Amino acid sequence: MTPKWIKNGDAWIWLNAAAVSISIIIVVGLLGLIAVRGLSHFWPASVMQADYVFPGNPLSRIIGEVVDNELVSIDNIRSSGIQIETQEPVLERLLLKTGNRDILGTDFRWLIAINLKNIHYPENIIALERREWGNFYGYIKSVKQHGQIIAEGEKAWPMLQQRLTRALDLAKQIKQVEKNEIGDINYEMEDLRLAERRLQLDQEDNESNLAPLHQARKQLDADYKQLQQRLNLLYQQINQDSLVATVADGTEVEIALAKIVRAYQPNALSLLARIGLYFEKLAEFIFDEPREANTEGGIFPAIFGTVMMVLIMSVLVTPFGVIAAVYLREYAKQGFLTRTIRIAVNNLAGVPSIVYGVFGLGFFVYFLGGNIDQLFYSEALPAPTFGTPGILWSSLTLAILTVPVVIVATEEGLSRIPKAIREGSLALGATKAETLWRTVLPMATPAMMTGMILAVARAAGEVAPLMLVGVVKLAPSLPLDDNFPFLHLDRKFMHLGFHIYDVGFQSPNVEAARPLVFATALLLVLVIIILNLAAIYIRNRLRERYRGLEQ
Amino acid sequence: MTNALTGSSKRHKIRHLKDKAARIGMGLGGISVIIAITLIFFYLLYVVIPMFKSAEVAAIASYELPGKAQIQTLHLSLEEQNQVASRITTDGEVIFFNAANGNIVNQFKLATPHQAQLTAFALDSLASHIFALGFGNGKVVIAKSVYDVRYNEHGREIIPRVDYPYGDNSISLIEDSGIAQLAIKINDEQTTLAFLSTDDRLFLAHQQEEESFLDESDHSSPVAFVTQEIADLENVKQLIIDDEQRLLYALHNNSEISLFDISDKDEIEAGERISLTDAGVEVTSIRLLTGGISLLIADDSGEISQWFPVKKDGDITLEKIRHFKNTGQGIELMPEQRRKGFLSVNQQGELTIYHATAHRELVSQKISDNALLHLAVSPRADHIIAQSSDNKISFVKIQNEHPEISWSVLWDKIWYESYDEPSYTWQSSSASNDFEPKYSLMPLAFGTLKAAFYAMLFAIPLAILGAIYTAYFMAPKMRAYVKPTIEIMEALPTVILGFLAGLWLAPLMEEHLAAMFTLILLLPLSAFVAAGLWQLVPASIRLRVPDGWQAALLIPYLIFFTWFGFAISGFVEAWFFAGNMKLWVSTELGLDFDQRNAMVVGIAMGVAVIPTIFSIAEDAIFSVPKHLTFGSLALGATPWQTLVRVVILTASPGIFSAIMIGFGRAVGETMIVLMATGNTPVMDLSIFQGMRTLSANIAVEMPESEVNSTHYRILFLAALVLFFFTFMFNTLAEIVRQRLRNKYSSL
């Protein structure tokens, strides 16, 4: 006999329940995975030293940080041609970040755990984060100035810290000169070149018009020379110090302090120092620029680009979306046509985003941008100004993509406002415009806000269309700077979502970049979840507010 | 008093004006926004349409044949800028003339051997402008038309001249006979000449470039050709060497062709001999299509056919690929230089433009009242000149931007050059002009549907079953948390899912393939087991848990089983899959295994569409009127019976529309497929293989496609297809949903 719990369908109910549970596990699991992997990246892990015994090979010393481990069956190991004498059916394999890419060729190495002997964590191991070649792990031997040893042994580490502070300060100055001051001069030079070209095109390139330009150029050239001299001096100063360190196998290497971003002794850190370092790295991640083909350093330009693009987009999308919604709900005659338009608008939100990207590239970039260039920027041609992907076109494309979201949300808000309020206002003698402006629209603001937030949340996560209309892996300058007209709508920009795609899939060193991608993903997810929760919160408040009015 | 009144009426007027302005402003603004967002559809269409337009032909000028009219023309040509044309005549003259009016620009008598009769002419290729003349005394002269471009105050000026790349001394190929037919092919490494002597012997003369060729002055001295006899052939009308210098074709008896494999010049093999036409039908023109692989053959019956060598069972045979019928009498053919198109003129004075791959006749127009004999196409294929039998030249402008596209190219199997059989292939770009672009949207559409199919396979059970439970059985308190949690997933950027799929899930799955399949079986089973186990729990505990919290209880239970699945996967692998499932798949099933395969995409994209389906289906089930369910329960049906027979039945249109919208989303998704598959456009349903979807293809190829090229427009077409597809699905779903809403409100 079939048991009752099968006959009455209880078993099926449990199956349905399992579907919900699995969905929840997936959601929470994914978010948890991103959070754990993203946040753990900044934790300064201990660096171990061990002797690696590999049958048939001489014993080798290894220094590195364990970043991953997995269990592998002995069959799999043997089938890949590695001979191991053991009775265990399953072996542990460790992924060690050995750093020193300039010496070893790679940063990472898979090792079989049981072959590691004599594992210990010496306190005097140093870890250096460098501007190129990734991390360095080893022992400090001495610090040099102009090639002369100035500190050795015990004294080397304190001396290094002292000298490094100075080098970092100089590096900051160099960056200031190179990026800002020389960058400004280049920008002005380019302006002058375009102005001259403009005059040529207008056939007004006579002496009197050109003279001030030449004058200005002379001045800029002089400024540039001066800066160049200052830069040379700074480079001389920063290049004076170096350190000598030994790596795992005892080889000595010399590293210029100019190449070092951070130095610490990972095994000597106290818990408090570790936490401090953690937040320092986290801050670097958020506020600094990327290094080493985006695989190290921060993601500030990507955050900035995303925010900027989304801001421009919301400035564009909100008024237009609201106007369309007000028209559809308050002015248009409600009939078959309005209903059709409503369905069509609703469905445009379901059209794949890449289609909008194609449209943006064809219509905005090539058609509109190309024509704008012909009309207003002919002096720069054939180099395109607006006839190439840029932040303005990205924002416009995403505005078109998200305008249905704003329309739908605003319409919903408008439809929730009780008729009595409109009629009351009209009965008191207000015109329709006044009714709208004074009563209906203020009451619908939360709905508009909801629409805008949802639009922003969607736009922040879209990548596919942006790949066609303006995003790049590394933008030389931000779309906002101190050069007139400050906001450069024609520039290309970096974007968090594209950063994830680019670093995760196009980068030469995926293994090294992976934790950074998780961290970027975490940031993006957080932003979007917060935006969505805000939208949900506002919507719920709105409902509460009108529930009172309806009764 | 009156003042106040006028004041108020003034204000009244202003208020009315404002109201009117607002009305007009809102109307204009609203309508223009709506137009702006529908613009996307029209713009896509506007870019796509030119692809399907036929070509346009317009005669610009007609003038007397430049040079001596009574001397026959051997060859006509037109240079890149369409300014200068040339005519090579049987008395060994090259006449350069202005293409627009026929005025002679320059005229050269070619360096011919003393006292010799010009008996044969051969062209290397249209692009190189190199040609060879064969003489009655067994000598040849190789010459080249050169168009020097100079810029002066009048703009661009083209100065034509004749050059002799092998020196202006003639080369003696044969001592004891004359040259009756000649063919020549030149590339960077070698030069091959094929010729037929007046006594019907076929020879091959071959010259390999030496390393010392660096020295340009080598040109002036006569180069040594190695000549060898390869066959005796009668009645030869034409010799043709393919561009790779691997095959020699000899047309003889007006309708038969003989193949010679000359790829190894030391060991020439005579190939098959094929009849090109039906008995009694003569070939009127035979040309190599651009790329030098296909032969175009026109015959007396008015048929033009395309043939190319195909490998069959290790042998190379010439195969008839496609043909055009009823094209007129006395056809002369001319291929385009940069595309797989060709043109024909005939005795009726008609000019016809074709495209070989697209199997498309683009336009046919009468441009002369007399028969047309010779034809030259400019390199850009935008102008032609044609010589008619009354010794006139017509200069014709052609507008023919996108001949490569036809319905069959996009959606049918096409037999491409160098392929052994017709196939669906997407291969859009290559560096060279000779490349035959393969624009079949089939593999992409197939990939799109495949990805969506596997995604739905994963998403539908989870989302629909979950929605049923959440809407119908779950405790309201728990529902308040569960619904937003799943819905928040909808906002998760797909780039993150794609990245997780590509960099985390794909390697994990490759490593633990058996575990994945174990879980697919184990998890549903474990849910049934849970139902049974729950009955065994003492009633005192069981009754303390309120109804509708099963899902919460199951979470730790299922996590345990997931772990358990991974733990036993090793044994599963050992028992069923000989220790290594990945190996087993490739050896036992014979399937290729990609790390980034359809299963990865299915799961990742499934996760992306679960919230969409879940949310809509849940709404539909939840809003089934309560009196229906209460009635059913009151009649003694169990909750499950009520669900299956009443609730799901009523809500089924809503569930259906949820699936449609989910499917629409899966079809258009870009980032996940871009990151989680290998993006190879293969047509294979296997779950262990990747695919390339329409959307990913756009993302990959759009940035590098040239504006307004055919490739660019095809990508727009792909976007339009996606647009249509999703718009249709969404509209259908929306209509179903609205109907359902009306039904509920009437219940």
Between chains, do A343 and B735 touch, taking CB under 8 Å as contact? yes
How does pLDDT run across B32-73, given as a tens digit for each residue? 888 887 888 899 999 999 988 888 899 888 888 888 888 888
Residues 6+ apart with CB under 8 A from B340: B289, B290, B291, B294, B355, B356, B357, B404, B436
Between chains, do A501 and B675 touch, taking CB under 8 Å as contact? yes
Between chains, do A27 and B503 touch, taking CB under 8 Å as contact? no
> Which residues of chain B have a CB within 8 Å of the CB of A321?
33
How does pLDDT run across B107-158, given as a tens digit for each residue? 888 887 777 788 888 888 888 888 988 888 888 888 888 888 888 777 788 8
Whether B605 shows a pLDDT value over 90: the answer reads yes
Give pLDDT, residue B539: 82
How does pLDDT run across B219-232, given as a tens digit for each residue? 444 457 788 888 88
Cα separation of the two ends of chain B: 61
Other C-beta atoms lying within 10 Å of the C-beta of residue A206: 9
Between chains, do A3 and B535 touch, taking CB under 8 Å as contact? yes
| Angle ∠(A190,A195,A197) on CA atoms, nearest 5 | 95
> Which residues of chain B have a CB within 8 Å of the CB of A533?
488
Which residue pairs from B198-202 have beta carbons closer than 8 angstroms and sit at least 24 positions apart in sequence?
B198/B119, B198/B136, B200/B232, B200/B233, B200/B234, B200/B236, B201/B177, B201/B229, B201/B231, B201/B232, B201/B233, B202/B229, B202/B230, B202/B231, B202/B232, B202/B233, B202/B236, B202/B239, B202/B250
B453-744 matches B28-61+285-424 in CATH topology: no
Between chains, do A23 and B468 touch, taking CB under 8 Å as contact? no
User: Which residue in chain A has the smallest CA separation from B569?
Assistant: A73
How does pLDDT run across B688-730, given as a tens digit for each residue? 888 899 999 999 999 888 888 889 999 999 999 999 888 888 8
Closest approach of chain A CAs to the CA of B554, in angstroms?
6
Whether B181 shows a pLDDT value over 80: the answer reads yes
Number of DSSP helices (H) and strands (E) in chain B, helices first: 17, 31
Between chains, do A355 and B493 touch, taking CB under 8 Å as contact? no
User: Which residue in chain B has the smallest CA separation from A461?
Assistant: B493
Chain A to chain B Cβ contacts (< 8 Å): 325
For residues B368 and B389, give the distance between their C-alpha atoms in angstroms, rounded to a whole number.
Answer: 10
- Please tell me which of the candidates A34, A358, A363 has its beta carbon nearest to residue B698: A358
Kindly state the helix (H) or strand (E) to which residue B672 belongs, with its residue range.
helix B671-676
Whether A19 shows a pLDDT value over 80: the answer reads yes
The arithmetic mean of pLDDT across residues B279-289, rounded, is: 84
Give pLDDT, residue B432: 67
How does pLDDT run across B642-670, given as a tens digit for each residue? 888 888 888 888 899 899 999 999 998 99
Between chains, do B503 and A432 touch, taking CB under 8 Å as contact? no
Poorest-pLDDT segment among A133-142, B226-235, B446-455? B226-235
Give pLDDT, residue A549: 64
Q: Pick the residue of B23, B495, B595 with the most A CBs within 10 A to test the interface with A by mutation.
A: B495
Residue pair A457/A535 in contact by the 8 Å Cβ criterion? yes
With an 8 Å Cβ cutoff, is A70 touching chain B? yes
For residues B548 and B479, give the distance between their C-alpha atoms in angstroms, rounded to a whole number.
Answer: 9
Query: Which three-class secondary structure state does DSSP give residue A224?
Result: helix
pTM (two decimals): 0.89
> Which residue's entry shows tokens 């000989």?
B578
Give pLDDT, residue B1: 44
> Which residues of chain A have a CB within 8 Å of the CB of B699?
354, 357, 464, 467-468
For residues B134 and B193, give the distance between their C-alpha atoms in angstroms, rounded to a whole number.
Answer: 11
The arithmetic mean of pLDDT across residues A207-233, rounded, is: 87
Give pLDDT, residue B214: 46
Residue pair B212/B185 in contact by the 8 Å Cβ criterion? no
Which amino acid is it at B141?
Answer: V
Closest approach of chain A CAs to the CA of B221, in angstroms?
46
Instruction: Tell me the two tokens of residue B78.
Output: 């037109």
How does pLDDT run across A281-307, given as a tens digit for each residue? 999 999 988 887 777 888 899 999 998
Which amino acid is it at B87?
Answer: R
- Facing residues of B151 across strands? B156
Residue pair A360/A400 in contact by the 8 Å Cβ criterion? yes
Which amino acid is it at B626?
Answer: K
Number of DSSP helices (H) and strands (E) in chain A, helices first: 19, 13
How does pLDDT run across A360-382, given as a tens digit for each residue? 999 999 999 989 888 888 877 77
Of the pLDDT bands very low, low, confident and very high (cuts 50, 70, 90), residue B617 is: very high
User: Which residue in chain A has the smallest CA separation from B580?
Assistant: A76
Report cis status (omega within 30 of 0) of the bond before A485: yes
The arithmetic mean of pLDDT across residues B298-308, rounded, is: 88
Q: Which residues of A73-108 are buried (b: 16+ CB within 10 A; e: fewer)?
A: beeebeeeeeeeeeeeeebebbbbbbbbbeeeeebb
Query: Which three-class secondary structure state does DSSP give residue B62?
Result: strand
Whether B178 shows a pLDDT value over 70: the answer reads yes
- Please tell me which of the candidates A328, A359, A407 has its beta carbon nearest to residue B40: A359
Closest approach of chain B CAs to the CA of A281, in angstroms?
23
CA distances from B336 to A306, B12, B74, B292, B415 (A): 48, 74, 19, 12, 20
How does pLDDT run across A464-513, given as a tens digit for each residue? 999 999 888 887 778 887 777 788 888 888 999 999 998 888 877 777 78
Instruction: Tell me the two tokens of residue A193.
Output: 């070149």
With an 8 Å Cβ cutoff, is A310 touching chain B? no
The two beta strands, A116-120 and B190-197, are unpaired
Give pLDDT, residue B208: 75
For residues A21 and B568, give the distance between their C-alpha atoms in angstroms, rounded to a whole number.
Answer: 22
For residues A420 and A415, give the distance between their C-alpha atoms in angstroms, rounded to a whole number.
Answer: 12
The arithmetic mean of pLDDT across residues A418-437, rounded, is: 89
| Angle ∠(A367,B363,B405) on CA atoms, nearest 5 | 50
Which amino acid is it at A315?
Answer: V
Instruction: Tell me the two tokens of residue B349.
Output: 């004075």
Task: Name the percent of chain B lying above pLDDT 90.
Answer: 15
Residues 6+ apart with CB under 8 A from B299: B255, B276, B277, B281, B282, B283, B284, B305, B331
Closest approach of chain B CAs to the CA of A70, in angstroms?
10
For residues A457 and A454, give the distance between their C-alpha atoms in angstroms, rounded to a whole number.
Answer: 5
Task: Name the percent of chain A lying above pLDDT 70.
Answer: 97
How does pLDDT run across B406-451, given as a tens digit for each residue? 888 888 888 988 888 888 989 887 666 678 888 899 999 999 999 9
Domain boundaries in chain B? 28-61+285-424, 112-211+224-275, 453-744
For residues B435 and B428, give the distance between their C-alpha atoms in angstroms, rounded to a whole number.
Answer: 9
Between chains, do B502 and A24 touch, taking CB under 8 Å as contact? no
Which amino acid is it at B709?
Answer: S
CA nearest B523: which of B595, B601, B458, B617? B458
Q: What CATH topology corresponds to B112-211+224-275?
A: Methylamine Dehydrogenase; Chain H (2.130.10)
Q: What is the CATH number of domain B453-744?
A: 1.10.3720.10
Instruction: Tell me the two tokens of residue B424.
Output: 């669906």
Superfamily of domain B28-61+285-424: YVTN repeat-like/Quinoprotein amine dehydrogenase (2.130.10.10)
Give pLDDT, residue A482: 75
Other C-beta atoms lying within 10 Å of the C-beta of residue A316: 18
Alpha helices, DSSP H, located in B577-670: 581-587, 598-622, 626-634, 639-642, 648-668
For residues A17 and A77, give the distance between their C-alpha atoms in angstroms, rounded to a whole number.
Answer: 41
With an 8 Å Cβ cutoff, is A26 touching chain B? yes
Q: Output Rg (C-alpha) for chain B, integer angstroms.
A: 37
Dihedral of CA atoms B31, B35, B36, B39 in degrees, nearest 10, equals 180
Cα separation of the two ends of chain A: 56
Residue pair B433/B406 in contact by the 8 Å Cβ criterion? no
Edge-first strand order for the sheet with B283-288 is B283-288, B295-299, B304-312, B315-324
> Which residues of chain B have a CB within 8 Å of the CB of A3?
532, 535
> Which residues of chain A have a CB within 8 Å of the CB of B482?
20, 24
- Please tell me which of the candidates B16, B47, B570 has its beta carbon nearest to residue A362: B47
How does pLDDT run across A433-457, given as a tens digit for each residue? 889 888 888 888 888 888 888 888 8
The arithmetic mean of pLDDT across residues A45-69, rounded, is: 83
Between chains, do A14 and B675 touch, taking CB under 8 Å as contact? no
Average pLDDT, chain A: 85
The arithmetic mean of pLDDT across residues A1-11, rounded, is: 70
User: Which residue in chain A has the smallest CA separation from B666?
Assistant: A352
- Please tell me which of the candidates B37, B551, B699 has its beta carbon nearest to residue A17: B551
- Please tell me which of the candidates B607, B614, B640 has its beta carbon nearest to residue A12: B640
